[in-house]
C-alpha cells in the first residue's frame, strides 16, 4: 500500500503533544507490506490511498493558509473567516464563488451576518441588559453585529458555561431566535482564566478539523495527529504516531467492502440483537461422523477430528472432500421464495434465521482472526528459536511470517463481506458477489490450513516445495481479495 508519510515526526514541545514512544501491539498489522519475494504482480491495488499524517503545528499551518485566503477575499477578520469556512466545510472555491454572486447571503448562511429578521429583534438604545435586566453603563454593554446588547458579566457567564460543556465554534448570541455565531476574538477576552482559554482553543481546533472535508482527527487515545487527504473516501488510513488504523470517512474500524452507512447499521443491529448469541455455539461442535465434541482452537475452518480423522467444514459440517465443489453453497444464504405469502410471525422467524446466518459467520471469522494472531506469535517465536539453533536464517523462514500476515489481511476483508451480503438485494449482482466471496473464503481456508501445518515444522530448513506451495497459495488468496474489492468496494 503506497502511502505518503512525509510528516511523521513531531516537535516534543508542540501544543497538545507528548513525546512518549509508540509501542506496537501484539496483533500484527494486517496491511503491513510483505516481503518483495511474494509481492502480487497485479499492478492495480483497489485500496491504494494517498494521505499525510500532520502534527498539530502542521495542521494549524494548513488551516491558517486557507483562513488568510478567505479573510482577504471576503474582506472579513480571520475569526469570521473561520466561521464561514466551518459552515461550508472548508470548500474554499465554493465560498469564493458564492461570495461573488451574493456576499450577504453567504455571510448570513454562515451565521456571521445578521438577517433582516434578526435585525428586527434589536434591543435598540436601551441601557438595560437583556438577560439580567439590570441598568448598566453604556461602555459595559457588548453586542455582536446583530446589536443585541448584554452586560459583560452575562456574556462572560454565557461563554464560560458553554466552554465548560465542550462547545467551540457553536457559541452564539444570547438573544432568543438569534443564531449569530460568536467569533473567537469576541469570546476569548470574556473567558476568565487561561485554563478556560486553552480549552476553548482546543475545542475550536477540534471543530475546525472535524468540519474540514480533507482532514480527520486520529481516533487514537490522546493522539494529536491529523490525517490529510486530497480526495475524501472510505479508505484505510493509519496514524504514523499511535499506529491506529481506521476508515478516513467515518473514523471507525476499516470495513471494506462494506460502506460506512451499512457498517453502522450492522454494528447497531449486532448490539441490539446481542442476545441472539445465545443461539449460537461459537466454540464447540460435534464431529458429524463420530459425534465427539470438538473445540475450535485455530483459525482454519477445515477441521479434522482427532478421534476418527474425519475432515469436515466447521461452518456447515459438510465433508471436506467434496467441499471444494460445494463451497459456494456454504457461504450463500438460501432465501425462502414463499416467505412473502406467509404470516408475519413466519416472516419474523425467517428474518432472524437470515440474520443469524450472517452473524454466525461474522463472529466466526472474528474469532479466527484472534486465533490466527496467536499463530502469528508462535511463528515469530519458532523462527527466532530456529535461527538461534542454526536451523536456517531469518530470511529462510520469513515467508512463514509473511503468510500469517497475509492470511489475517484476507480474513479481515472476508469478515466484512458478510454485512455487505446481508443488506444486498437479491439478484444477479448479489449472486456474483456471493460467488467471489465463496472463492475468497475457499482460498483463505486453504491458506490457513497450510499456515497452521507449516507452523508444526520442527527441524531443518524448509523445502523448496513447501515454500513454493505456500507462496503460491498466498498469491491466489490475495488475487481473490483484490478482485472482490475492485468489483464491489464503493459500488
Q: How many CB atoms lie within 10 A of CB 262?
A: 17
Top pLDDT among 23 and 289 is at 289
Q: What kind of architecture, by CATH, is found in domain 114-192?
A: 2-Layer Sandwich (3.30)
Q: Which residues contact 268 (CB under 8 A, 6 or more apart)?
A: none
Question: What's the rounded Cα separation, in Å, for the pair 276 and 99?
Answer: 55
Matching CATH number, 260-282+344-488, of 3.20.20.140, 1.10.10.10, 1.10.599.10, 1.20.120.1750: 1.20.120.1750
Answer yes or no: is pLDDT of 375 > 50: yes
Where is average pLDDT lowest: 157-166, 175-184, 276-285, 361-370? 276-285
Per-residue pLDDT, 452: 85
Whether 118 sits among the annotated catalytic residues: the reply is no
CA nearest 480: which of 445, 447, 439? 439
Per-residue pLDDT, 173: 94
pLDDT in tens, 75-100: 999 999 999 999 999 999 999 999 99
CA-to-CA separations, 257 to 416, 419, 481, 490, 491, in angstroms, rounded:
7, 9, 10, 7, 9
Answer yes or no: is pLDDT of 23 > 50: no
Q: Do domains 114-192 and 260-282+344-488 have the same CATH topology?
A: no
pLDDT in tens, 260-279: 999 999 998 888 765 454 44
Where is average pLDDT lowest: 291-305, 354-368, 452-466? 452-466
* 75 dihedral zone (left: phi>0; alpha: psi -120 to 50; beta): left
Where do the domains of the chain lie?
A: 114-192, 260-282+344-488
Per-residue pLDDT, 361: 93
Per-residue pLDDT, 325: 54
Annotated active-site residue in 239, 300, 313, 410: 300
Per-residue pLDDT, 413: 97
CA-to-CA separations, 402 to 36, 406, 422, 441, 451, in angstroms, rounded:
10, 6, 32, 19, 10
Per-residue pLDDT, 7: 39
Amino acid at each position: 500500500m503506497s502511502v505518503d508519510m512525509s510528516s511523521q515526526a513531531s516537535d516534543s514541545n508542540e501544543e497538545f503533544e507528548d513525546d512518549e514512544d509508540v509501542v506496537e501491539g501484539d496483533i500484527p498489522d494486517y496491511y503491513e507490506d510483505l516481503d518483495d519475494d511474494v509481492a502480487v504482480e497485479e499492478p492495480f491495488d483497489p485500496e491504494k490511498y494517498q494521505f499525510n499524517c500532520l502534527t498539530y503545528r502542521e495542521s494549524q499551518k494548513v488551516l491558517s493558509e486557507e483562513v488568510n485566503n478567505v479573510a482577504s477575499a471576503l474582506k472579513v477578520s480571520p475569526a469570521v473567516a473561520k466561521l464561514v469556512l466551518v459552515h461550508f466545510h472548508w470548500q474554499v472555491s465554493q465560498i469564493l464563488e458564492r461570495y461573488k454572486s451574493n456576499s450577504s447571503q453567504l455571510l448570513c448562511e454562515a451565521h456571521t451576518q445578521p438577517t433582516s429578521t434578526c435585525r428586527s429583534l434589536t434591543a435598540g438604545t436601551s441601557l438595560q441588559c437583556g438577560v439580567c435586566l439590570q441598568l448598566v453603563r453604556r461602555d459595559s454593554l457588548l453586542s455582536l453585529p446583530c446589536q443585541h446588547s448584554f452586560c459583560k458579566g452575562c456574556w462572560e457567564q454565557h461563554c464560560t458555561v458553554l466552554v465548560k460543556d465542550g462547545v467551540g465554534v457553536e457559541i452564539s448570541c444570547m438573544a432568543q431566535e438569534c443564531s449569530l455565531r460568536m467569533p473567537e476574538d469576541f469570546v476569548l477576552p470574556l473567558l476568565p482564566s487561561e485554563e478556560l482559554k486553552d480549552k476553548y482553543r482546543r475545542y475550536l481546533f477540534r471543530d475546525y478539523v472535524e468540519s474540514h472535508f480533507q482532514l480527520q482527527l486520529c481516533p487514537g487515545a490522546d493522539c494529536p495527529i491529523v490525517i490529510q487527504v486530497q480526495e475524501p473516501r472510505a479508505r484505510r488510513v493509519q496514524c504514523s504516531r499511535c499506529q491506529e488504523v481506521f476508515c478516513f470517512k467515518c473514523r471507525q474500524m476499516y470495513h471494506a467492502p462494506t460502506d460506512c452507512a451499512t457498517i453502522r447499521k450492522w454494528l447497531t443491529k449486532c448490539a441490539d440483537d446481542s442476545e441472539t448469541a445465545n443461539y449460537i455455539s461459537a466454540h464447540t461442535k460435534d464431529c458429524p461422523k463420530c459425534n465427539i465434541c470438538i473445540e475450535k482452537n485455530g483459525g482454519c475452518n477445515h477441521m479434522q477430528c482427532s478421534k476418527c480423522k474425519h475432515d469436515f467444514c466447521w461452518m456447515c459440517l459438510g465433508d471436506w472432500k467434496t467441499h471444494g465443489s460445494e463451497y459456494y453453497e456454504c457461504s450463500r444464504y438460501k432465501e425462502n421464495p414463499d416467505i412473502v405469502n406467509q404470516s408475519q410471525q413466519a416472516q419474523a422467524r425467517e428474518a432472524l434465521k437470515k440474520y443469524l446466518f450472517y452473524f454466525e459467520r461474522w463472529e466466526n471469522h472474528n474469532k479466527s482472526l484472534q486465533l490466527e494472531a496467536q499463530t502469528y506469535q508462535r511463528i515469530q517465536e519458532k523462527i527466532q528459536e530456529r535461527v538461534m539453533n542454526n536451523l536456517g536464517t531469518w530470511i529462510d523462514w520469513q515467508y512463514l511470517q509473511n503468510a500469517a500476515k497475509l492470511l489475517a489481511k484476507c480474513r479481515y476483508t472476508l469478515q466484512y463481506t458478510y454485512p455487505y451480503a446481508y443488506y444486498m438485494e437479491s439478484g444477479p449482482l448479489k449472486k456474483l458477489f456471493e460467488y467471489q466471496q465463496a472463492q475468497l473464503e475457499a482460498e483463505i481456508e486453504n491458506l490457513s490450513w497450510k499456515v497452521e501445518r507449516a507452523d508444526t515444522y520442527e527441524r531443518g530448513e524448509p523445502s523448496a516445495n513447501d515454500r513454493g506451495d505456500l507462496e503460491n497459495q498466498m498469491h491466489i488468496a490475495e488475487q481473490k481479495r483484490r478482485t472482490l474489492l475492485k468489483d464491489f468496494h464503493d459500488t
